[in-house]
Structure 1
Amino acid sequence: MVDLNKLYQELSNNLGQSGWWPADSKEEIILGAILVQNTNWNNADLALTELKRRTGLDPQNILNLTQEELMRIIKSSGFYKNKSRAILATFEWLDKEGWDYEAISDRYGSKLRSELLKIPGVGNETADVFQVYIFDRPVLIADSYTRRLFAKLGYTKTKTYEELWKQVKLPSNFTYLDAQEFHGLIDNFGKEYLRYDGLFEKSFLAGMK
Structure 2
Amino acid sequence: MQTITLSQLESRLATILGPSGWWPADSPTEILVGAILVQNTNWRNVAASLANLRAATGFTPRRLFALSTAQLQPLIRPSGFYRNKARAILALGQWLATRNDDLTAIAALPPAQLRQELLALPGIGPETADAMRLYVFDQPTFIADHYCRRLFTWLGQPAETYAKLRAQTKAVDAWPLHAAQELHGLIDNFGKTVKTAADFAVSPLADVKLTLPAGPWEENL
Which TM-score band applies after superposition, normalised by the shorter structure? over 0.9
1:201 aligns with 2:211: no
Is contact 1:35-1:44 (8 Å) kept? yes
Paired residues in the alignment total 207
Task: Find the residue that maps to 1:52 and give its secondary structure.
Answer: helix
Q: Which runs of 4+ in 1 moved over 4 A?
A: none
Q: What is the CA–CA distance in structure 1 between the aligned matches of 2:174 and 2:168, rounded to whole Å?
A: 18
Q: What is the CA–CA distance in structure 2 between the aligned matches of 1:121 and 1:171, rounded to whole Å?
A: 25
Residue 177 of structure 1 aligns with which residue? 178
Task: Find the residue that maps to 1:140 and give its secondary structure.
Answer: coil
Question: How far apart are residue 107 of structure 1 and its match?
Answer: 3.5
Is contact 1:51-1:74 (8 Å) kept? yes
Unaligned 5+ segments in structure 1 are none
RMSD in angstroms over aligned alpha carbons? Answer: 1.5
TM-score calculated relative to the size of structure 2:
0.89
TM-score calculated relative to the size of structure 1:
0.94
Task: Write out aligned runs for 1:1-209 (5 A).
Answer: 2-155=4-157, 157-171=158-172, 174-193=175-194, 195-209=195-209
- State the AA in 1 paired with 2:54: K
CA gap of 1:197–1:152, structure 2 versus 1, over 3 A, is closer
Is contact 1:2-1:153 (8 Å) kept? no
Q: Percent identity?
A: 47
Q: What is the CA–CA distance in structure 2 between the aligned matches of 1:208 and 1:113, rounded to whole Å?
A: 33
Task: Find the residue that maps to 1:205 and give its secondary structure.
Answer: coil
Unaligned 5+ segments in structure 2 are 210-221
Is contact 1:137-1:175 (8 Å) kept? no
Is contact 2:172-2:180 (8 Å) kept? no
CA gap of 1:164–1:91, structure 2 versus 1, over 3 A, is same
Question: How far apart are residue 173 of structure 1 and its match?
Answer: 5.5
